[in-house]
Amino acid sequence: MSFTPMSGCRGIKCTADINGQCPKQLKAQGGCNNPCTVFRTDKYCCNSSSCGPTALSKYFKKRCPNAYSYPKDDPTSTLTCPGGTNYRVVFCPR
């Protein structure tokens, strides 16, 4: 997926086949679940203030560095653009 602002700020892009590379424990019909949905623990859902990256979030982050991979992944993955920004969205970028 590519989500690119037409001007003024940084966009995101991930060309990894996340569904095809989904870890076995997260596989779901037609795709890949997130760890919180599967395990329902604070480690993966981050309901407290003491959570951090896990092996699974690092797995996805390695494949899609711009993606928000765990609840407090703000420094590298929280992007903002000015109101009124136009975007180009491509679901299967090359």
What tokens were used for 41?
Answer: 């623990």
Of residues 80 and 41, which shows the higher confidence score?
41
The whole-number pLDDT of residue 93 equals 64
Nearest to 24 by CA among 16, 12, 32: 32
Per-residue pLDDT averaged across 12-23, rounded?
87
Domains in the chain: ranges and CATH: 2-74+85-90 (2.60.110.10)
82 pLDDT higher than 90? no
**pLDDT tens digits along 32-53:** 998 999 999 988 888 877 788 8
84 pLDDT higher than 80? yes
The whole-number pLDDT of residue 46 equals 84
The whole-number pLDDT of residue 48 equals 77
- pLDDT band for 2, please (50, 70, 90 cuts): confident
4 pLDDT higher than 80? yes
